[in-house]
Each structure stands twice: as C-alpha cells, then as structure tokens.
C-alpha cells in the first residue's frame, strides 16, 4: 500500500468495481458481484500481505506516481515514474457502453500500459480463492491464463509474455501492452484493437452521461465525480445500490467498528437516488424502484429489513474471516451484516420517499400508478403501526432499543407523502386518510420527541440526548427551517456534537456497544452544512463545505468517517452517504447560473 491507505480510485461499470491505489495495484475487487468473495484483497491483508489476492504492476526503481481520472469518466490513469526518469502510464477501466440497444457491462477489467523511455515492470497477478487468501488453481493457454475459484473461472488475456506473469520476472516495456482480466471467455479479436475500441466507447458513454447532469455552477468537478461514484455503486442487474464497495475498514483506529457495507440499505439508497434525481439522473431511481417493488411484494406479514443482499435476498449472516488480517492490520474482517436482523422503523419512510418522485416527474418513463401506490401503502401501514415502537435506530445500535425520534419522523414522512401521492392520483378518500395519519404521528412526535425544557428535538422519545439525524427534520418537511423548535435543535447540536472544537459533526456522543465515537461521521457534517444554509447562515455553510471538500482524497472521493484532528479518512470506501452530501450541499450553496453568467 502506498501513501495514505484510502488514496484509492474506483473503476467499475455497475456490475462490479475495483479499487486501485496510487501505484496502480488493484487492492480490492469482488467478482462476480459487489458482495462476492474478493479476488483481490490486499486492502484487508494487513501490513504484510500474503502472496495471493494481488494484481500489481510494479515499476522497478519506483520514485513517484501521479493519478487522475480522465475528465468526466470512470477511467483511471496512473503515471509511474522511476529514479531514472522512465515512466509507465497505466489506464484502467471497466467497459460500459451501449451495444445492440442495451448496456454492455462485462465482468472485465482492461489495463493499458504505455511506456515513456524504458521502464522495467514486474507483473504480479494472483487472484485469490477462499475468502480472499487462498491459492487459485491455474492453467495456461497459448496467450492466456485461467484461474479457478469456488465462484467460477477467470481469465487474463494479454499482449505481454505469459512468462512475465507466471514467473514474475521484470521486463522492459518498450511498446504499448494490454491486459484483459475477467470472466473465462475467449477474446475473439486482436487484444489491442479490442481494448482501444472499448476504451473509446467507454469514454464516450461516461462523457455523454455526465453531460446530461443538471449540475450547479460552482464545484462542478466535485459534483460530477460524486455523481459518477454513486452511479458505480448501483448494481444494475437488480437495481440495488450498495452503501460502499468495501467491508471492515474501521470507523476509527482499533475501534472494532468494522462492518460489511457491500449491501443495499434502503435508507442509504433513498438518499442516493434522491441526490441523483436532483441532478436529472432518474434512471438509477427507476431501476432501484423495481428492486423495492420486489421486496414490498414479498413482505407478507413480516417487517421490512433495513438491509438486503443486492439480489434482494434477506439473509446476511455475519461472520468473522480470520484469514484476513484487516485494514492496516486492524481486524476483525466481517462478511455479512447483523443489521439485517434489526428492527429499524425509518425504512418505511425511506421506501415511500424513494418512490414519490415517480408520481410527479414527467421525465420518468414509468410513471407511478395506482398499483404502485397500493404497494407503497403496505409500507405506510407499517409506518402507521410502528412509529411509536422501539427500534435500533438508523445508527444500528446492537444492544439497546428505544423509540427513536428520527425513525418516527420518517414514519411521518411515509404518511405525508402517501397523502400527496393519493391527491395526485385523485384518490380523495385515501388522501384524507393519510393526511390524518400524518397529523397524528406528527402530534405524537412533538409531544414525546421534543423537549420544552431543552428547547430541542431529542434522539429518543422522552430522552435528553441528541443525534445528528435530527438535522433532517427541516429537509424532510417535518419542521420549517425558521421554526423555533428546529432552530433550538440546531443550536444544541452545534454545542454538543462538535467536541473539542471540532469543525465536523459527530453522529452522537453517548457511549454505545463499542464505547464513545472517536471520529466525525461525514454525512452528518453535510447535514449540518445544509441546515446552516436553510436558516440563512450561508457564509458559514460555504466555508465549512470548502473545508470538507479539501478532506477528499486526491481523486475527489470520501469514506464514511473523518478524524477531526488529523483529517484522515476512515470507514468503508467510497461511502455513498458522503458522496451524496457533496451533491446536496453544492446544489444548495452554489450561486445560480443566471447570476454567474
């Protein structure tokens, strides 16, 4: 690993993704899906990685590197320079483009090597089996190698001598070379021609996609990179959206807060599709809605889980994988997530909120109809029945349950939006019914989730503590930004959730199952920025937003958490929540195009 460990780039095509470090090593890649076992796992192999789970192109006598994305694309370019001035430019991408009227997104990583001078490189390609550490059986063809794992066979086809891969002997790269790693399928045309053709088409796809975004005038590069990153977190086969591409990067050093985020949280996905919708990228929402419809249709009498596998199945048994030492040696490494077993009532609001735009946005191909409304009412009924019941809350506390105010507010949002949808569909009786439900929930929340003595909403009913999610009360429409109850909540959060003079917001500061949180939760700081803007404190909001943008890694990406002292990124990466925050805050704070031009 080189430099700061989360100085990583992402390439992907909405079927899979790979994380690549500043030296061009693929340090994390799960195939055939985001939640599969990793074929490349150096990110979680600790300070002394083993021989397997590696895909590195090592420059002999390495001196320094530079890394960038091609503008407005998911194509990553890494330039490696040795001590003698020789250089190797490495271009990595996952093909994605329209082919025969549909999106072509093969399980393939393409790598192009362009020399400057006479660089010497060593290729280390050893996909892993058995949870990311076992040795693959390997067979050799005329110009390819095959690797066998429990989940299938994989192949690399290359213009390089195969002995360079098999024996890992350094060689001088004196002309352009190509590597195609992916599913075990033969390459039926010249490798250079295929890679170059796919590179052009992939570049055109991403630039066309980016060109269609309705971006703000300011911070355009940051917003476009965030939008592309969110798009890469969507598993297009089912419509699911993962919370992050990794597992078990700890929230803070040696904290034990190591979780697997390679699954679809209904709450996180709502925020993701909402952000993309605001940019005009509605297709991800339409695909995600189909995923939701399948979940709701199979709900029966049970409760809706907060998180599901990306294929929509509910079982996510959590297990520790001792074979992997963990990020920087900070285990444990977990596959699966026990949160799937929790009760989190805010998910009912997340489901309805995710689908609401389908009924109001004329750009959307498949408009919401009465059949979809009837399905959403199932979620509304659960919200009506459970808004005042204890749950684990959005922060997924493992050993305590309370009636969480944010969960109740999200249940109110479900009823409120159902009333609006019913009115849109001219279902007067249902609109009246859901307005009455929403009014009753709101009255109860303000009676039990707001403290007159403290002048603030509280994290739990009849409690005295805070959590940062209460800042969303204004954005969700539960309270107006100028409501004294919201202003009081904001003031108290400012006093209590920014410890030791931190400019960044913690999600809460009460001990939980793992002690007191040590790092700021990045999306909470974005919520704070948005709240400042909503109450008219735009100069403060802009200053903090610029500060937070400066904490992104060298490619404009953010993880889940931020150390307020060192500025170091922690937590799973890249985190969709955090990238959503960039988009939302930029839109709120940017000067209008009309004023700028």
**pLDDT digit string, tens, across residues 268-307:** 999 999 999 999 998 898 999 999 988 988 777 778 999 9
Compute the average pLDDT of residues 302-328.
94
Q: Is the pLDDT at 596 greater than 90, yes or no?
A: no
> Residue 530: what are its φ and ψ, rounded to 5°?
-65, -35
Helical H segments across 121-190, by residue range:
162-166
Please report which helix (H) or strand (E) contains residue 18, including its range: strand 17-21
Same domain, 131 and 194: yes
Supply the pTM of this predicted model.
0.96
The structural domain count of the chain equals: 2
How far are the Cα atoms of 14, 24, 36, 92, 226 from residue 95, in angstroms, in the given order? 10, 18, 20, 10, 19
Compute the average pLDDT of residues 238-263.
96
pLDDT band at residue 104 under the 50/70/90 scheme: very high
Helical H segments across 76-168, by residue range:
162-166
243 in a domain, yes or no? yes
Same domain, 517 and 563: yes
Same domain, 235 and 198: no
Alpha-carbon dihedral of residues 295, 439, 453, 531, nearest 10 degrees?
60
Please report which helix (H) or strand (E) contains residue 594, including its range: helix 593-596
pLDDT in tens, 83-95: 999 999 999 999 9
Pick the last residue of a domain from 209, 235, 250.
209
Q: Is the pLDDT at 151 greater than 90, yes or no?
A: no
397 in a domain, yes or no? no
User: Which of 424, 419, 405, 269 has its CA nearest to residue 350?
Assistant: 269
154 in a domain, yes or no? yes
Average predicted confidence (pLDDT) for the chain: 94
316 in a domain, yes or no? yes
Q: Burial of 490 by CB count in 10 Å (0-12 exposed, 13-18 middle, 19+ buried)?
A: buried
Compute the average pLDDT of residues 70-83.
98
Compute the average pLDDT of residues 527-553.
97
Same domain, 251 and 162: no
Q: Is the pLDDT at 399 greater than 70, yes or no?
A: no
Rounded CA separation 162/404 (Å) = 59
Q: Which residues lie across from 520 on neighbouring strands?
A: 562
Q: Which long-range contacts (CB under 8 A, 24 or more apart) does 155-164 make?
A: 155/181, 155/182, 155/183, 155/184, 155/185, 156/125, 156/180, 156/181, 157/186, 157/187, 157/191, 158/191, 159/191, 159/192, 160/123, 164/123
Q: Minimum mean pLDDT among 68-72, 75-79, 101-105, 224-228: which range?
A: 101-105
Same domain, 265 and 119: no
Rounded CA separation 213/561 (Å) = 27
> Which domain covers residue 86, as residue numbers?
8-209
- Tell me what pLDDT residue 1 has: 38
Q: Is the pLDDT at 470 greater than 70, yes or no?
A: yes
55 in a domain, yes or no? yes
Pick the last residue of a domain from 193, 209, 225.
209
Pick the last residue of a domain from 209, 232, 250.
209
175 in a domain, yes or no? yes
Same domain, 177 and 271: no
Same domain, 153 and 98: yes
pLDDT in tens, 35-58: 999 999 999 999 888 789 999 999
Rounded CA separation 41/130 (Å) = 11
Same domain, 228 and 252: yes
How far are the Cα atoms of 393, 418, 445 from residue 381, in angstroms, in the given order? 19, 10, 17
Compute the average pLDDT of residues 488-507.
94
- Tell me what pLDDT residue 301 has: 72
User: Which of 208, 198, 55, 78 has its CA nearest to residue 132?
Assistant: 55
Cβ count near 116 (within 10 Å) = 14
Compute the average pLDDT of residues 352-362.
93
293 in a domain, yes or no? no
Same domain, 48 and 168: yes
What does the block give as tokens for 330? 């900070």
Residue with tokens 């750009």: 363
Same domain, 20 and 164: yes
Percent of the chain with pLDDT over 70: 99
Q: What is the CATH number of the domain that holds 125?
A: 2.70.98.10
Q: Which residues lie across from 180 on neighbouring strands?
A: 110, 157
What does the block give as tokens for 288? 């995600």
- Tell me what pLDDT residue 3 has: 35
Rounded CA separation 311/240 (Å) = 7
What does the block give as tokens for 489? 């909540």
Q: Is the pLDDT at 4 greater than 70, yes or no?
A: no
Spatial strand order in the sheet of 76-82:
62-69, 76-82, 87-93, 108-116, 177-183, 152-158, 144-149, 137-140
What does the block give as tokens for 36? 């599969």
Rounded CA separation 16/585 (Å) = 28
Same domain, 194 and 246: no
Could you tell me which residue, 364 or 441, shows the higher pLDDT? 441
What does the block give as tokens for 577? 């929540």
How far are the Cα atoms of 354, 367, 375, 423, 522 from residue 370, in angstroms, in the given order? 16, 10, 9, 11, 38
Inter-axis angle of helices 220-232 and 576-589, nearest 10: 150
Rounded CA separation 81/400 (Å) = 53
367 in a domain, yes or no? no
Same domain, 129 and 248: no
């Amino acid at each position: 690993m080189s430099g700061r460990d989360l100085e990583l780039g992402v390439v992907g095509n909405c079927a899979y993704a790979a994380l690549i470090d500043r030296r061009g090593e693929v340090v994390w890649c799960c195939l055939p899906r985001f939640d599969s076992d990793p074929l490349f796992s150096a990110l979680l192999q600790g300070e002394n990685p083993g021989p397997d789970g590696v895909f590195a192109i090592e420059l002999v006598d390495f001196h320094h590197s530079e890394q960038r994305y091609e503008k407005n694309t998911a194509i990553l370019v890494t330039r490696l320079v040795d001590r003698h001035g020789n250089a190797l430019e490495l271009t990595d991408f996952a093909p994605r483009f329209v082919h025969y009227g549909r999106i072509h997104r093969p399980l393939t990583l393409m790598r192009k090597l362009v020399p400057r001078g006479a660089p010497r490189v060593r290729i280390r390609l050893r996909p892993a089996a058995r949870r990311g550490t076992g040795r693959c059986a390997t067979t050799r063809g005329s110009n390819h190698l095959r690797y066998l794992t429990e989940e299938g066979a994989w192949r690399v086809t290359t213009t390089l001598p195969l002995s360079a891969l098999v024996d890992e002997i350094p060689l001088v790269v004196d002309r352009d070379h190509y590597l195609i790693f992916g599913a075990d399928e033969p390459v039926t045309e010249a490798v250079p021609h295929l890679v170059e053709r796919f590179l052009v088409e992939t570049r055109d796809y991403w630039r066309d996609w980016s060109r269609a975004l309705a971006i703000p005038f300011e911070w355009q590069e940051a917003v476009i990179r965030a939008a592309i990153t969110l798009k890469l977190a969507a598993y297009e086969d089912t419509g699911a959206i993962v919370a992050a591409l990794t597992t078990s990067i700890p929230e803070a050093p040696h904290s034990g807060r190591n979780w697997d985020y390679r699954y679809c949280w209904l709450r996180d996905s709502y925020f993701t599709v909402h952000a993309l919708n605001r940019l005009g990228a509605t297709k991800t929402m339409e695909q995600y809605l189909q995923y939701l419809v399948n979940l709701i249709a199979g709900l029966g009498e049970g409760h809706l889980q907060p998180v599901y596998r990306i294929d929509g199945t509910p079982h996510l048994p959590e297990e520790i994988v001792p074979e992997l030492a963990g990020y920087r040696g900070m285990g444990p490494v977990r596959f699966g997530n026990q949160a799937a077993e929790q009760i989190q009532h805010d998910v009912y609001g997340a489901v309805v909120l995710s689908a609401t735009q389908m009924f109001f946005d004329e750009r959307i191909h498949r408009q919401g109809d009465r059949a979809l409304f009837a399905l959403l009412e199932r979620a509304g009924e659960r919200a009506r029945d459970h808004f005042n019941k204890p749950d684990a809350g959005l922060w997924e506390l493992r050993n305590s349950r309370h009636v969480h105010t944010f969960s109740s507010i999200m249940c109110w949002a479900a009823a409120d939006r159902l009333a609006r949808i019913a009115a849109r569909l001219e279902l007067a009786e249902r609109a009246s019914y859901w307005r009455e439900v929403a009014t009753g929930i709101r009255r109860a929340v303000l009676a039990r989730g707001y403290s007159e003595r403290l002048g603030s909403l509280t994290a739990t009913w009849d409690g005295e503590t805070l959590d940062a999610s209460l800042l969303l009360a204004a954005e969700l429409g539960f309270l107006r930004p100028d409501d004294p109850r919201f202003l009081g909540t904001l003031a108290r959060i400012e006093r209590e959730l920014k410890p030791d003079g931190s400019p960044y917001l913690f999600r809460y500061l009460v001990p939980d199952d793992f002690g007191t949180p040590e790092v700021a939760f990045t999306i909470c700081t974005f919520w704070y920025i948005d709240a400042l803007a909503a109450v008219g404190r735009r100069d403060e909001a802009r200053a903090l937003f610029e500060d937070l943008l400066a904490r992104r890694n060298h490619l404009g990406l953010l993880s889940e958490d931020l150390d307020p002292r060192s500025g170091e990124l922690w937590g799973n990466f890249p985190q969709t929540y955090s990238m959503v925050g960039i988009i939302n805050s930029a839109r709120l704070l940017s000067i209008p195009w009309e004023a700028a031009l």
